[in-house]
């Protein structure tokens, strides 16, 4: 209770309601019965990211169809499923939530979620910063009565908002006609996504209740969507404020009262140092999204040059105890570039954006306070983004793409794999035309029969990628060096390569333990040898076994094929 009250004081200061901590404790106590006990994370943990309707079939509801597909093809290969927002919504493919407690009837119901949970652990989104304009809460605000009447941030449009960090180009302050007349409310992401007012402790209490409801309904992992923006103080940039960090700490505290092996993940698409601030001192998020990884890896493979990727990975700070990275290279959103604004030069980001355009994608922009705009996100399927390099398309798409996925599976942390990476999905231009949203390019909905027909075609992208990816996942589970907390060291062996050691190097050359591994990635379409060979641990300078090919490899005289990857053990 004392720790909770301290956190609440960091949020509300002297205006703290003395009953708030007791109200939160009561909600926790009411939720404790019947929780499963989770195991600590390990190399067995791989999370699949998917919408509830990513795999469709005529005879089943979408969540049932997804479950059947995952059980048949990925049982034992992925441990957890992140079902992107599956609640009733009005826009943004689920992230404009109308009702936090219901399953979207077009997807299924809570019974379908529970059945999926019998075979996989689950991740849910807690969309905290905003809710739908069509929600009952916002209806209360418009009517001036009911639970939500004071849940939103009213604003004066004549004030100066130029210091506010903007992730979008849409207006920050939007007009609302209410029974009390015209009002103006804060809308960080769109005029349909109205920001909630966490300065009102009733809003925090409401979200603690939703948080506990999700945990009760099978979520081992909770992703805090757009959490960086939840606290507003005019005159500041309104991002990463101390109150925001205190709210994250509070939610972690609530979670750990139930099970210390549940996992809180923050989604903060911002420059790298800001992103990892959500580890706090090991008392905030258990995991943060590794937002710098997707653009760095795409840039490296697009240029055949891993200079920035290697430098960034070598400088990653030691993780606080009990914390780790959620690694991903593709997701339902595009490839954000904010995380690398201080890593990759602007002109090279512009070059990357040009390649994305050439490969059929789009570039989303963000507004700056001075009226200018910068690239915010590259909207393209990762498989199509890797169809070539900055010189154009070539014959190496599949190998280049699989190189990206092997790197994802090798890094310290837990990998998050977007379903459309597994299925080698191409740009969905038709869906973009239908929705008018560029992000739809990477949100294809597979008809299961169509997918399986492609699997049966020997030279289809799906046939070339899907089974090889499944084999990779099966192999990875056997390698203890890929435990999320296993040590990581990066070596600079030339810009054409990325070289990563996981675990400790064996002291003797006759030790074939999988507790230590050296991963070597050729980032180019040309054969490459390892430079600066002598800096590598002695155990890897002798003959090694490559777990990916079952071949014996001596790096001193070995030449990697285009986009080849080695997982070496002595």
Helix H or strand E segment including 302: helix 293-303
Q: How far is residue 313's CA from residue 305's CA, in Å, rounded to a whole number?
A: 14
Supply 566's token pair: 């080695």
Q: How far is residue 379's CA from residue 3's CA, in Å, rounded to a whole number?
A: 43
Residue 54 near residue 446, CB atoms below 8 Å = yes
Q: Which residues contact 164 (CB under 8 A, 6 or more apart)?
A: 172, 237, 238, 369
Helix H or strand E segment including 301: helix 293-303
**23 Rama sector, left if φ>0, alpha if ψ -120 to 50, beta otherwise:** alpha
In the chain, what are the helix, strand and coil shares in percent, each to the nearest 5?
35, 20, 40
Torsions phi, psi for 448 (to 5 deg): -60, -40
Residue 357 near residue 437, CB atoms below 8 Å = no
Beta strands in 103-235 (DSSP E): 121-127, 130-132, 173-178, 181-186, 193-195, 219-225
- Dihedral through CA 260, CA 201, CA 95, CA 358, nearest 10? -90
Beta strands in 256-340 (DSSP E): 263-267, 287-289, 324-327, 335-336
Residue 272 near residue 317, CB atoms below 8 Å = no
Q: How far is residue 521's CA from residue 37's CA, in Å, rounded to a whole number?
A: 38
Task: List the catalytic residue out of 45, 192, 225, 428.
Answer: 225
CA angle, 391 then 394 then 395, to 5°: 160
- What does each C-alpha distance from 241 to 237, 254, 368 come to in angstroms? 8, 20, 19
- Considering only CA atoms, give the Rg of the chain: 24
Q: Assign 470 to helix, strand or coil.
A: helix
CA angle, 500 then 296 then 555, to 5°: 25
* DSSP-derived secondary structure letter, 196: B
Torsions phi, psi for 53 (to 5 deg): -115, 30
Supply 517's token pair: 């591994």
Q: Which residues contact 110 (CB under 8 A, 6 or more apart)?
A: 103, 217
- Based on the residue annotation, tell me whether 225 is a catalytic residue of this protein: yes
* DSSP-derived secondary structure letter, 380: S
Quote the distance between the C-alpha of residue 86 and its chain's center. Answer: 17
Which residue numbers are catalytic? 225
């Amino acid at each position: 209770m004392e720790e909770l009250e301290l956190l609440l004081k960091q949020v509300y200061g002297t205006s703290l309601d003395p009953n708030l901590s007791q109200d939160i404790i009561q909600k926790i106590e009411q939720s404790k019965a019947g929780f499963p006990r989770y195991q600590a994370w390990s190399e067995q943990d791989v999370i699949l990211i998917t919408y509830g309707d990513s795999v469709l079939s005529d005879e089943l509801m979408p969540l049932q169809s997804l479950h059947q597909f995952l059980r048949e093809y990925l049982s034992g290969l992925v441990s957890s499923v992140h079902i992107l927002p599956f609640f009733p919504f009005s826009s943004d493919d689920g992230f404009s939530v109308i009702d936090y407690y219901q399953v979207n009837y077009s997807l299924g119901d809570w019974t379908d979620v529970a059945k999926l949970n019998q075979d996989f652990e689950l991740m849910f989104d807690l969309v905290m910063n905003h809710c739908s304009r069509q929600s009952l809460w916002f209806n209360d605000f418009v009517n001036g009565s009911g639970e939500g009447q004071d849940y939103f941030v009213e604003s004066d449009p004549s004030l100066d908002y130029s210091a506010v960090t903007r992730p979008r180009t849409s207006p920050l302050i939007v007009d609302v006609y209410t029974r009390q007349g015209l009002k103006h409310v804060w809308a960080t992401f769109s005029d349909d996504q109205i920001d909630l007012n966490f300065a009102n402790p009733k809003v925090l209490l409401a979200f603690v209740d939703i948080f506990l409801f999700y945990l009760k309904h099978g979520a081992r992992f909770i992703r805090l969507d757009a959490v960086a923006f939840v606290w507003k103080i005019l005159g500041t940039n309104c991002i990463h404020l101390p109150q925001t960090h205190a709210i994250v700490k509070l939610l972690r505290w609530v979670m750990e009262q139930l099970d210390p092996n549940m996992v809180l993940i923050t989604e903060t698409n911002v420059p790298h140092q800001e992103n990892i601030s959500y580890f706090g001192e090991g008392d905030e998020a258990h995991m943060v999204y590794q937002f710098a990884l997707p653009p760095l890896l795409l840039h490296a493979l697009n240029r055949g040059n891993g200079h920035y990727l290697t430098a960034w990975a070598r400088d990653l700070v030691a993780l606080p105890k009990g914390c780790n990275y959620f690694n991903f290279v593709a997701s339902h959103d595009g490839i954000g570039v904010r995380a690398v604004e201080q890593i990759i030069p602007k002109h090279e980001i512009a070059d990357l954006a040009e390649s994305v355009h050439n490969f059929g994608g789009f570039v989303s922009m963000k507004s700056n306070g001075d009226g200018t705009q910068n690239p915010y996100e590259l909207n393209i399927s990762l498989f199509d983004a890797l169809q070539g390099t900055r010189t154009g398309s070539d014959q190496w798409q599949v190998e280049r793409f699989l190189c990206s996925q092997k790197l994802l599976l090798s890094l310290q942390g837990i990998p998050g794999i977007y379903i459309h990476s597994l299925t080698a999905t191409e740009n969905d231009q038709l869906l973009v035309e239908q929705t008018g949203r560029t992000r739809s390019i990477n949100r294809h909905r597979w008809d299961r029969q169509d997918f399986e027909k492609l699997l049966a075609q020997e030279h289809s992208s799906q046939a070339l990628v899907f089974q090889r990816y499944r084999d990779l996942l099966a192999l990875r589970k056997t390698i203890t060096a890929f435990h999320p907390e296993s040590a990581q060291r990066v070596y600079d062996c030339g810009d054409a390569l990325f070289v990563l050691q996981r675990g400790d190097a064996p002291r003797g050359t006759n030790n074939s333990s999988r507790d230590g591994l050296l991963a070597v990635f050729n980032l180019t379409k040309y054969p490459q040898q390892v430079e600066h060979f002598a800096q590598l641990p002695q155990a890897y300078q002798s003959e090694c076994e490559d777990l990916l090919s079952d071949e014996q490899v001596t790096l001193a005289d070995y030449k990697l094929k285009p986009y080849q990857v080695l997982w070496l053990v002595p």
